Structure 1
Amino acid sequence: MESYRNPVLVAAVVVPPAVCALLIPFRDNFDNANLALLLVVAIVAIAAFGVRPAGILAAVSSAVWFDFFLTPPYNSFEIRHRDDIETTILLVVIGAAVTEIAIWGRRQQARASRHRGYLDGVITTSQAVAAGGSTDELIDQVRAELIAVLGIDGAKFVASGKLSGAPVLNADGTVTRGGRVLRVERDGLPTNAEIELAVQHAGEVRGRFLLTAAARIARPDLEQRLVAVALADQVGAALTTHQTLHP
């Protein structure tokens, strides 16, 4: 968004007065409400980028220049008619509403894209397990997926026993420490200790991923944490199969 944020902000300042200036020759022949509709088009075009300050700025700028250029007395910020006052206020309200809708739509689109990425990661891992390839390669693949999905700094696989007192990412997606559930969405994953994620299959633990989030605060939501659990379970299934074939 940063790549187009500044140009959109500039457009929010420049476009409304330019549109109003172009409408000056028609202000005596058209109702002000119809002229305002053309300004609404400009506001919607700017708000569609999902940059909240730009959308609000475009709405306020449109209202101000609509008052100045298109409502009598012209070239003045005075408004004498009630209809013009209502139209000016509506321009601001519509601009703010459209901006929020655009932001919501972009967030939904980004969320859908992330979900697709999570699903692709699980499917790719499942295919690797089904293909019966190298377990080391699968573990490396899952390590990379875990780092990406959880937004953490690192992950490593160990076959040793459980670490005493370490935070745990459980099968239900909760993160606990000493039996206490941590509020990951609010406080983030623990940064002062490695987080255990069991690698298991059919109720039997085959190892653990130790997750590190020391350099930055990571706040994966429940869905992301469940994806991480599913990825670890894929490794558990692969290790079980490997042990069955190569006892």
Structure 2
Amino acid sequence: MAAITLPRPSRPAHFGIPLRDTLALGAGVAGPLAVAGLLVPFRTHVAGANLALILVVVVVAVAAIGHRGAGALAALSSAVWFDLFLTRPYGQFTIAGSDDITTAALLLAVGLAVSQLAARARRLKVVTVADAGHLALIHETAQLAQRATSADAVVDHVRRELTGLLGLDGCRFEYGSLLGHPPQLGQDGEVTTAHGRWDVERRGWPREEIELRTVGNGHYYGRFMLRPGAGGVVALQARLVAGTLAGQVGAALADVGAGAVTEN
């Protein structure tokens, strides 16, 4: 089976931020402002709590199309414009009524909470939509691991597939000690560096080699060293598949009794 290469369209970016994220951040500010402006004629006839609920819907919409940061910005923006346009005294960043103060505080708190939930739901949707090509790749690798007489054959197969799957410029496998602290692609598809989690969706790959460790029966046997290619962000689903393939290599190495190494 030939390596599966995911489409990697160029994605315009502003100051290093993908265009979609830039638009989502803009919507996080402009969306609540526009809706609050449309609600002005109703502010004397509709309870402030009901107006706030409409703004919560805007927060959910922004978080669903963007990311957590955009959703949080929309929640903050909603609270600000609710205060300015929909509470007395109108047109001032002052709230006279205690009920309106409570409503504004709840709008901010609920907006932040639902933005996180909406972003997480969008992320889980990406994970659960299985791609037939990815499933075929996992199945083929599992079959190879079962019939291969040498773990090296599985390693070479996965190395080639990772190159296409992740759009890499290169990929090599290292047996032995896990030296250094390069960025690491985990089984959960997340990338971490010495400074913490790396936001792949917003920043793309780190511009250095990334390790993908192979684990079998709870032991480390080596790692793939991934040299990122230029282009767009690699989807979370593809990164999860990469983690699964590395796990199959670890299982193959465990079956042949390769020497395990100590995690650093």
TM-score range, shorter chain: 0.5 to 0.7
CA distance in 2, matches of 1:230, 1:120: 19
Residue 78 of structure 1 is aligned with which of 73, 80, 94? 94
Shift of 1:5: 0.5
Residue 213 of structure 1 is aligned with which of 206, 213, 225? 225
After TM superposition, the structure 1 = structure 2 runs for residues 1-247 of structure 1, keeping only pairs within 5 Å, are 2-112=18-128, 119-126=135-142, 141-145=157-161, 147=163, 148=165, 153-155=170-172, 166-167=176-177, 213=225, 215=227, 225-230=246-251
Instruction: Tell me the residue number matched to 1:160.
Output: none
Shift of 1:107: 3.6
CA distance in 2, matches of 1:195, 1:92: 40
Q: Percent identity?
A: 36
Shift of 1:120: 3.2
- Point out the structure with the larger helix share: 1
Q: Which runs of 5+ in 1 are unaligned?
A: 158-162, 168-174, 178-183, 198-208, 237-247
Query: What is the aligned-residue RMSD (CA, Å)?
Result: 4.8
CA distance in 1, matches of 2:47, 2:118: 29
Shift of 1:137: 9.5
Q: Which runs of 5+ in 2 are unaligned?
A: 1-16, 187-191, 195-207, 215-220, 229-238, 257-264
Aligned length: 196
| Secondary structure in 2 matching 1:44 | helix
Shift of 1:8: 1.0
Shift of 1:117: 7.0
Asked if the contact 1:67/1:76 (under 8 Å) is kept, the reply is yes
CA distance in 2, matches of 1:69, 1:144: 58
Distance 1:114 1:153, change over 3 A: farther
Q: If you compute each CA radius of gyration, which structure gives the higher value, 1 or 2? A: 1
TM-score (norm 1): 0.59
| Secondary structure in 2 matching 1:76 | coil
Distance 1:113 1:29, change over 3 A: closer
